Amino acid sequence: MIVARPEHLYRLDSSTVALHLDDFLGSDVGNESYNLSILTRPTFKPDTFYVSERLSDPSFLAPGDRDWNEWVHRFIDRELDLLEKQRIVSVEDRLFVVEYCSQQLSLLLDHTLGEMLLAENLTNQELPDVVRKVIAYCLTGNPNGELYSSESFNGFARRVIPYLLEKYSFQKRSARDLVAYSIASGLIGLDIKGAYSAASAHSRVGIELSPIITLDRDHAVDSIYLELEEVVQEGLVVDYWDAFTEEILDQDCTLVWFPDDYIETLFDLLLIQRLLTANKSLRIILIPRNGRYGNDASCDDVCEFLTIPLFETLSLHLRSGRLRVSSKGPRMGAISLRKLSKEVVDAIMGSKAVFVKGCRAHEMIQGGLNAVVYAGYVVAREFTERETGLDARKSPLVLIRSNPGEYCHWGFKGCIGRTKVFSDGRRIPICCSTLEEHECRKTTMDVPGLVEDLKYLIGQHGRLSVEYTIPYKEEIRLVVDRLGALTKATYETIASKYEDLRCQYPGELEIELFENLLKLARSRVREELLGDSKGVLSLLDVGTGHGRDLRYFCSVKDLRPVGIDNAKSFLGILERFAESGDIPKDSFVEMDMRHLDGFEDASFDMVRNNATLLHLPLTPVGIGADEAIAETFRVLKPFGLFFVFVKAGQGLQYLDTGEGLGGRIFQLYTRESLCNLLRRHGFRIVDVVERHTERPSGGIDWIGAYAERPGI
């Protein structure tokens, strides 16, 4: 037992900090540039906040978490209390020791890294581990000292959880069921683990162990199981199991797995055993923590688990090499992508995907890891409520899948101005974009709801700090892409009805506007600026639809038109026209106006966008309409001409034109907004026209612009 007397405490100084900084910060990096290979971008930082911000009583934290000194003193006192109860440490004059450790922590945080203080580089999620390291140093003088404050809790788990898994025949459960139990098991013992390990208050007590920890094993197991079963029966609120099955279980691949809590890891091992049995071509690299940090499972713990008879099959996989257990995992409870060992980086780079357990770990890597990530956790913390938008009192289980660089939630500090009200009236702050909102945007069929989401996001432009630039832009892209997919699906459905409504030949207005474009182009042919050697003009008709105008263009002798559309139903109509000889077979292509990848630079003399651009939102970050205009500029020749025709008005709207076509999105334009859009992509405005048309559904005001790509 360590006797901690005031006169025997160890003091930090600048030379000790400098010499052992990697130890205090849990860094295992031999060459930082090597770690950049797994990052989505060199400048990546986790979407969180830093200790320097916590020091300033930030308003985005709950009132009980804002007072830095109070939080630190409570944390240190709790750790010392746990160590004393387990007879690992005996503390004389607890108040003095708590204050002393707090002062040494301040000295460490004031250490300078380049031009920044360490506190400015240390995330909130890493803070608990660093505090524990400072306590251990103050008591032992060893910068790598481990004082195992969760030894009693994890010892109880080691005695009870394997028996629970055996008694209730978990090994016979399906893999889908096991992943739910694995996630839900994170609730076991929250009352003992406490909130400080996660640097955030818990919103619920979880599956309490304090009342049953003294019971005999059978009664303790039965009590835990009944509560665990109740949570699991609710199912996964976010469920990517089918995607995991298709992407991992049905493939010859390697999966990297970061476990979390001691108890969860026992459940994880049973799940991993099932996965390896189900897929003979699967390989899993398990990366537990390299050391004991709070109640997280260490490499030594995992190696001990593998001696349990329950995991006999898993031990065979370990010997065959299909399971590997890394001894070079993270040197703290949190996972910092910049602090991983070369062995772990190599494992990630050679894997098909990464599976991460625990919300704190996911918070640290989301958006930054250049790999497909699956993450499983139960919402129990106040922070996680704010990030997910889910009610922790219901213990929602989530299994997330994210693409490289994808942010499932972002903007934690934005919770200053956003709240969510649950059905019972409880109100919580939420971040700028929650997991719940993000997942809904990926799959929803609610176009009006997406329009409102996009308006909200656009309204945040200029209000968000620069650190949210990338996730903000990507969230807008997600919504714009989803709106585009739903607009395409609408036209897939209404193509025949649209063909009937819009007739087979262009009206007088369409012909007038096109003839004006053709007149401008022919004048450039005479100047030898446009056209081929025979004076024939190439035309790209964007959003050619059912081919009404394309058929007309094909009848013009000095014109070689190509129409594009992304709705397969319209393409089917065009194929019918091609078969009947009304249009050439090579006069239309399936393509999105934002991605004209099938065409080389400077391919066309003219581009026409008639009532098509208006289905793309106008955003402040260049996603949507801007992408289409940028592509148009690219495929036009120097001196090439562009005609665009859109509806007049303000903003993005979801409208039903009353023609039996259903609702669609329309980006409305003013004369100024249309011209600004064209000019910022390099176009020179030649002319602007305004027209009014009448349809059975009512009158429509239009704005059209003729523009040219300037010559070289």
Note whether residue 467 is domain-resident. Answer: no
pLDDT given for residue 403 in this prediction: 97
Q: Of all helices (H) and strands (E), which one includes residue 693? A: strand 684-695
Domain boundary among 90, 112, 140: 140
Residue 361 and residue 260 share a domain? yes
CB atoms within 10 A of CB 212: 18
Note whether residue 119 is domain-resident. Answer: yes
Domain boundary among 140, 162, 191: 140
Domains of the chain: total: 3
Is residue 409 classed exposed, middle or buried when 0-12, 13-18 and 19+ CB atoms within 10 A define those classes?
buried
Backbone angles phi, psi at 406, to 5 degrees: -80, 130
Domain boundary among 88, 119, 140: 140
Residue 185 and residue 132 share a domain? no
Give the whole-angstrom CA distance, residue 538 versus residue 508: 23
Residue 675 and residue 543 share a domain? yes
Give the whole-angstrom CA distance, residue 625 versus residue 609: 12
Residue 665 and residue 634 share a domain? yes
What tokens were used for 701?
């005001």
pLDDT given for residue 153 in this prediction: 87
The torsion defined by the Cα of 494, 497, 503 and 509, in degrees rounded to 10, comes to: -50
Are 641 and 708 in contact by the 8 Å Cβ rule? The answer is yes
Q: What amino acid occupies position 389? A: G
Note whether residue 459 is domain-resident. Answer: no
Q: What is the CATH number of the domain that holds 629?
A: 3.40.50.150
Residue 188 and residue 124 share a domain? no
pLDDT given for residue 203 in this prediction: 55
Please identify every stretch of the chain with a pLDDT value under 70, giving residue numbers as ranges: 30-33, 194-204, 503
Helix residue ranges per DSSP H, 112-234: 127-140, 151-167, 175-184, 190-193, 217-232
Note whether residue 63 is domain-resident. Answer: yes
3-state secondary structure of 330: coil
Residue 219 and residue 366 share a domain? yes
pLDDT given for residue 658 in this prediction: 77
Residue 563 and residue 664 share a domain? yes
DSSP 247: I
pLDDT given for residue 542 in this prediction: 98
pLDDT given for residue 507 in this prediction: 84
pLDDT given for residue 565 in this prediction: 96
Are 40 and 404 in contact by the 8 Å Cβ rule? The answer is yes
Residue 360 and residue 240 share a domain? yes
pLDDT given for residue 65 in this prediction: 77
pLDDT given for residue 152 in this prediction: 85
Note whether residue 457 is domain-resident. Answer: no
pLDDT given for residue 199 in this prediction: 54
Residue 663 and residue 516 share a domain? yes
Note whether residue 476 is domain-resident. Answer: no
Q: What amino acid occupies position 696? A: P
Note whether residue 625 is domain-resident. Answer: yes
Residue 620 and residue 524 share a domain? yes
Q: Give the domain range for residue 561.
A: 493-708
pLDDT given for residue 661 in this prediction: 81
Q: Which residues pair with 100 in a beta bridge?
A: none
Give the whole-angstrom CA distance, residue 664 versus residue 675: 24
Q: What is the CATH number of the domain that holds 225?
A: 3.40.50.10880
Note whether residue 215 is domain-resident. Answer: yes
Residue 236 and residue 122 share a domain? no
Residue 657 and residue 628 share a domain? yes
CB atoms within 10 A of CB 611: 18
Global pTM value: 0.93
What tokens were used for 18?
């400098």
DSSP 116: E
